[in-house]
Amino acid sequence: MAYLLAASLLWALSFGLMPRVAPLGPAFVAAVRSLLALAVFLPLARPRGLGLRAGAALAGLGAVQFGLMYVFYTAGFRYLQGSEAALFTVFTPLLVALAGDALDRTWSWRVLGVAALAAAGTAVCLGAKVRDHGILVGFLLIQASNACFALGQVGYRRLARDLGRPDRELMGLLYAGAALVTLALALPGLGAVPRPTPAQVAILAYLGLAASGLGFFLFNAGARRTNVGTLAVFNNAKIPLAILAAALVFGERVAWLRLAAGGSLIAGALLLAGRTRPGAQRK
């Protein structure tokens, strides 16, 4: 659980920073993030002995969980305000629970209920007002991003446990898959990307090295060490932390009562998830 919490803390600043680099283009931003994360973890990769099938599976998971996810996510900011994009991520715990059940060919109302409680708590925290027009495309892009992230983390959790390798030896292959797919999407439009400002360069460095590189490593490492219910809840733990960051770092106004109420629901969901019977945990 400590790994998941540490990743959530690293991601807390992302909602406030993403709109500042969104004008650079979703594919370009996703490619830079993937390449920076790859630069950190590729030297640690140990593909020898994995086999071609397992290596390709890891790269494919990375292409989905990190690559396509961030392309869809960044594209969503062209149509959505930051609060709207954050609000539409509340469904990710439900997708994680459903993906876990689908891979295990089972059904757990308990896990689904915990995920729904986490989603409700996040919605209370945000309390965002959604505009009446021009929002459907953004909503669909964020849901595509949610689905990619959910499928990737649940798939990695299952595959990494079967391989029995340390996470640091596997993550380089995931980032390689993400870099390949994002570069393929970014290169055709590279000439149209505006020159990044120094502030945007600094933001990209944080997003690539800290949020993507270290953050996804910690989150996937935590994913294989906990049950699906806890994993689902932590997909939204970053939201109340992001609201706190918005107040403390960016000086935004915060509805503290709403944050406390929503945070309590998420904490309750986390407690319930922690009581999942060992036999009900996915492997």
pLDDT computed for residue 262 by the predictor: 73
Structural domains in the chain (count): 1
For every one of its 283 residues, what pLDDT tens digit does the chain have, with 9 covering 90 and above?
789 888 888 887 777 788 889 889 888 998 999 999 999 999 988 888 888 899 999 999 999 999 899 889 888 877 876 666 766 777 777 777 777 666 666 656 666 666 666 667 666 765 655 555 567 788 889 889 989 998 999 899 889 989 989 999 999 999 999 999 999 999 998 889 999 999 999 999 999 999 999 998 998 998 888 877 778 778 777 777 777 776 777 666 766 777 677 777 777 776 766 665 433 343 3
pLDDT computed for residue 103 by the predictor: 64
pLDDT computed for residue 2 by the predictor: 85
Q: Give the phi and the psi of residue 247 in degrees, each rounded to 5.
A: -75, -45
pLDDT computed for residue 175 by the predictor: 94
pLDDT computed for residue 111 by the predictor: 60
Give me the helix-helix angle, 136-163 and 167-186, nearest 10°.
150
Which domain does 61 fall in, by range? 2-280
> Both tokens of residue 222?
């935590």
pLDDT computed for residue 283 by the predictor: 34
Give the position of tokens 């993030």.
33
pLDDT computed for residue 280 by the predictor: 39
What CA–CA distance (Å, rounded) separates 227 from 175?
24
pLDDT computed for residue 19 by the predictor: 80
Angle made by CA atoms 222, 244, 150, in degrees to the nearest 5: 35
pTM, entire model: 0.78
Q: Give the phi and the psi of residue 160 in degrees, each rounded to 5.
A: -65, -35
Residue 75 CA, distance from chain mean position = 15
